[in-house]
Amino acid sequence: MLKIAIIAGTNRPNALNPQVVDWVAQQLAARGGIEAEIVRFDDFDLPVLDEPIPAGAHMYQNDHTKAWGAKLAEFDGYIFVTPEYNHSVPGGLKNALDYVSLEFNHKVAGIVNYGADKGVRAAEHLRLILANSRVAVVRDQTSFSIFTDFTDGQFAPQEVSVQPFASMIDDMVLWGEALVGAREKRAAMTDA
């Protein structure tokens, strides 16, 4: 059973994000075979990046970084639920991702994005950020429009928007299971 973190992509007050995050959690619970947990970076009180050494060195100095990294290390994969702010990912999400790197190595991710243009630019930027941490981001993503998938501020996704979610999860399971073996091989190479 894969352990998947559902990463809430913003901590903005009154954001639509919690509704989409909850929908993702409900979809995963109905599927079975996946253990999912909602993870919010704001629960870790991460200030603007304050680590003196780049994340790739894995030499964290601050307790908040160590706690954030330890939480992320628990998972086999991640679903990022991100809005699009100013044609990119929210600053808080980018800051949280800048803190860590190795915890993501050789794991799988899916993206659920939303915005005026369905949040596609945020998703594309997120793919580039995650590639630097050796994350295998699956091709299919789930994209929602704030104009057609929300009604009076309430998440009410259209069927056409929901359809890619199932294939995204199928690919995540396939890649996630394969990457467990890849991480084991990588660990054996490092120990040798």
The per-residue pLDDT string of the chain (192 residues; one tens digit each, 9 = 90 and over) reads: 999 999 999 999 999 999 999 999 999 999 988 999 999 999 999 999 999 999 999 999 999 999 999 999 999 999 999 999 999 999 999 999 999 999 999 999 999 999 999 999 999 999 999 999 999 999 999 999 999 999 999 999 999 999 999 999 999 999 999 999 999 998 888 886
How far is the first Cα of the chain from the last one, in angstroms, to the nearest whole number? 28
| Contact predicate 74/3, CB 8 Å | yes
The pLDDT score that the predictor gives to residue 190 is: 81
Alpha helices in the chain (DSSP H): 17-31, 63-73, 91-98, 120-131, 159-162, 164-191
pLDDT at 191: 80
> Which domains does the chain possess?
2-191 (3.40.50.360)
Distance CA 133, CA 69 (A): 13
- The secondary structure of 41-67, three-state, reads HHHHCCCCCCCCCCHHHCCCCCHHHHH
Given the DSSP bridges, would you call strands 150-151 and 77-83 parallel, antiparallel or unpaired?
Answer: unpaired
pLDDT for the residue 186? 86
CA 34 → CA 45, 81, 103, 149, 174, distances in Å? 28, 17, 19, 26, 12
Rounded to whole angstroms, how far apart are CA atoms 160 and 113? Answer: 14
